Amino acid sequence: MQWYQEEIRQLEAKPVVQSGLQKVIFYGSSTFTRWPNLEQCFPQVQALNLGFGGSTLAACAWFFKRVVPQHQPNMVMVYAGDNDLGDGRTPEEVVLFYEHLLASIRAMLGNIPVCFVSIKLSFARLHLRGSIEYANSCVSRLVSLQGPPLYYLDLYYPMFDERGNLHPAFFEPDGLHLSPAGYTLWQQKISAQLDHMLQHQQPLS
């Protein structure tokens, strides 16, 4: 975990700000880190981007206590897992890392809503398709069994075309990271998910 230390120190130094809106932490890997103006993309909430590049779910669980609790979020959006699988971890390990992260959230922030954004398939990781689909199905099952305030947002299948192939327009030339069109899709889907979660959230006092 040593290679994350500089980014983690930068995240630790982020000021704590309260806006009067529900505060939502976006926590996870470079899909969040590289998102241009993420914090302005969801005006219905106070979004805070605490992603760090290349992070795994294991790293998210490990560093959670250092970067998230001081902000006292009302909700957490999580995106990670593809880097774990890319590093050779199994889908079962990904689920265990997520359970570890959830346990830390519950211990330090209470029973707040947490949404897992499905692990995306990318052209650079087509060989991991089976593992990604299995990891997603396991997390989806975990969320279904526990129910709200746990949520699962499927962004896996919306990135395919009508023939069942990944849509190239959603990716940068590296075949791994999202393009502007990809982020537009994610913004639409996540915004709708946030609206759904807000409908079931207690208003701020």
Q: Distance between CA atoms of 87 and 198, rounded to whole angstroms?
A: 35
pLDDT tens for 134-173 read 999 999 999 999 999 999 999 999 999 999 999 999 999 9
pTM of the shown model: 0.94
pLDDT at 200: 80
- What confidence category does residue 15 fall into, taking pLDDT thresholds of 50, 70 and 90? very high
**pLDDT mean over 106-134:** 97
Nearest to 61 by CA among 26, 29, 97, 92: 97
Do the bridges between strand 23-28 and strand 75-79 make them parallel or antiparallel, or are there none, so unpaired?
parallel
Residue type present at position 84:
D
Which one-letter DSSP state was computed for residue 151?
Answer: E
Q: What domains can you pick out in the chain, each with its CATH number?
A: 23-199 (3.40.50.1110)
pLDDT at 205: 55
pLDDT at 1: 56
How far from the centroid of its chain's Cα atoms is residue 186's Cα? 11
How far from the centroid of its chain's Cα atoms is residue 33's Cα? 10
